[in-house]
Amino acid sequence: MTKRTVTLIEGDGIGPEISEAVVKIFEAVGAPIVWERAEAGLAAIERTGNGVPPETLESIKRNGIAIKGPTTTPVGGGHKSVNVTIRKTLELYANVRLSRSMPAVETRFNNVDIFVVRENVEDTYAGIEHWQTPNVAQCLKLITRQGSESVIRYAFDQARTLGRKRVTCVHKANIHKITDGLFLDVFREVAADYPDLQSDDIIVDNCCMQLATRPDQFDVLVLPNLYGDIVSDLCAGIVGGLGVAPGGNIGKNCAVFEAVHGSAPDIAGKGIANPTAMLLSGVQMLQYMGLIEHANAIQQALAETLASGVRTRDLRGTASTMEFAEAICSRLTPIEAEATGVAQGATTPVPVQLSNNTEEWTLVGADVFVEHAHGLPPMPEQVGPFTLRLMSNRGTKVWPGPTPDILIIDHHRCRYVADGEVTRKDVLHLLSDITARGIVWCQVEMLNKVDGEARYSKAQGE
Ligand code: NAI
């Protein structure tokens, strides 16, 4: 039988103990895997000064698949988080988390089985933030057609592979009409390629309320980064917390699976850590590799073991890490099957298929953001082809017309619009005129139209 090489990073604290348990259980189920051990975390920092040595990244790239124990991020000293380094360097664009009710893990619900797919790179996590004025900070929320398609297609592909029935897009497109609207539009386009699966969408706040009251109604969720960050922890909470929550990070060229919890320094070396979260991360890895039978067998043996009363201390049992692992092994027999999922070292099969946009954009104006304390800035009403259409403060119209009785801060959006097409040179003249009047502008956004339709949001009151 052909075996696949997988990079194993044991990590820090309880990492080596729970890794050993997982390796033992994988052996018992006959997973066709050869482990290639690689280093990351504290030991790597002490030895090389780098939490993720280049040879570890090389190993993950070469094998295409890795499983990782938790790593300790030293506080201070300027050390970057190992997880963030791995995620960014390997462009792991999807974060996947399985939240499934388990026997012995007491929660309000016993019928939850949700697969959460979170976009892992874009949204507000691109980390593009600026101070606009001494009182106003801004963070860019970036959603791209291609980034959205990659993660959404991955969610539908996984739903099919895992035999799931329904994919739900979670968004806030009623407010973020353009950014979340794009994510939702792409979702609908991609859904059309999967007629065998049900697809629908829900607004994120309603989704949270439904998760807290009737989580069994959900199957697969796909979300932009920020909502995904929050909702995936909510899902982990409903099935018993981060201690039993597995996760995986999927990229174009590789995937890294890991438990959600940390290195638990308080119990490290005592042999009492619960290996469940890392084992379930391993189950997600087996599913990714197409080893569905092995994955199902482990889930079954884990559920039976917990139900039989063999549990680690965190679940109010008395078993050690190894006793718990052995109880799972005793319920497994080796399965003869080869990996049919992503091929060794191959790219994940998530081609971006949407055509690149070729629509004609017409520049018609600019939003000029101006810093001005104490009332409204003295903006010119006409400059070249531009007319000052309106001014708003924190999104509320303050000019023309009576200024509403709201808190006015030192950051004004001044919308200049022309009757026809303008050029960037016209915008430069507008800025020169404003600057010559001693007005401090801090940011400019272009206003474009396509076939007469605005490619920017309307201002409140416009
Ligand atoms: P933690 O998750 O390590 O521990 C929180 C509490 O949960 C502790 O009482 C611990 O004993 C318990 N716990 C965690 N996992 C357990 C398990 N498998 N079995 C039994 N009990 C378990 O969080 P903490 O203390 O905030 O972080 C410790 C270190 O881990 C930090 O250096 C942090 O940066 C790192 N960390 C690493 C992560 C990763 O590599 N994925 C994720 C989160 C934290």
Ligand 1 atom showing the smallest separation from residue 314 Cα: 20
Q: What is d(CA 198, CA 201) in angstroms, rounded to the nearest whole number?
A: 10
Our answer on whether the CB atom of 101 is closer than 6 Å to any ligand 1 atom is: no
Q: What is d(CA 397, CA 403) in angstroms, rounded to the nearest whole number?
A: 8
**Shared domain check, 25 and 115:** no
Ligand 1 atom showing the smallest separation from residue 18 Cα: 18
Which of 177, 211, 234 terminates a domain? The answer is: 234
Residue 264, in any domain of the structure? yes
DSSP 420: S
Residue 98, in any domain of the structure? no
DSSP 242: G
Which of 234, 253, 272 terminates a domain? The answer is: 234
- Residue 194 structural domain: 108-234
Our answer on whether the CB atom of 15 is closer than 6 Å to any ligand 1 atom is: no
Q: Which residues pair with 129 in a beta bridge?
A: 139
**Shared domain check, 402 and 337:** no
Residue ranges of E strands in 357-427 = 362-371, 382-383, 386-393, 396-399, 411-417
Whole-number Å distance, alpha carbon 459 to ligand 1 midpoint, is 45
Which of 234, 266, 298 terminates a domain? The answer is: 234
pLDDT in single tens digits along all 462 residues of the chain = 789 999 999 999 999 999 999 999 999 999 999 999 999 999 898 888 889 999 999 999 999 999 999 998 877 766 778 888 898 889 899 999 999 998 878 889 999 999 999 999 899 988 889 999 999 999 999 999 999 999 999 999 989 988 999 999 999 999 999 999 999 999 999 999 999 999 999 999 999 999 999 999 999 999 999 999 999 999 999 998 777 889 999 998 899 999 989 999 999 999 999 999 999 999 999 988 989 999 999 999 999 999 999 999 988 899 999 999 999 999 999 998 777 776 555 445 455 666 566 789 999 999 999 999 999 999 999 999 999 999 999 999 999 998 888 999 999 999 999 999 999 999 999 999 999 999 999 999 999 999 999 999 998 888
Residue 422, in any domain of the structure? yes
**DSSP per residue over 340-357, as a string?**
-SSPTTPPPS----SPPP
Q: Parallel, antiparallel, or unpaired: how do β-strands 65-68 and 94-100 relate? A: unpaired
CATH code, domain carrying 449: 3.30.70.1570
CA-nearest residue for atom 38, ligand 1, is 262
Whole-number Å distance, alpha carbon 263 to ligand 1 midpoint, is 4
Whole-number Å distance, alpha carbon 84 to ligand 1 midpoint, is 16
**Shared domain check, 259 and 219:** no
CA-nearest residue for atom 11, ligand 1, is 264
Ligand 1 atom showing the smallest separation from residue 313 Cα: 20
Prediction pTM value: 0.86
CA-nearest residue for atom 31, ligand 1, is 72
- Of 17, 19, 20, 263, the one to substitute when testing ligand 1's pocket (max ligand atoms within 8 A of C-beta) is 263
Our answer on whether the CB atom of 51 is closer than 6 Å to any ligand 1 atom is: no
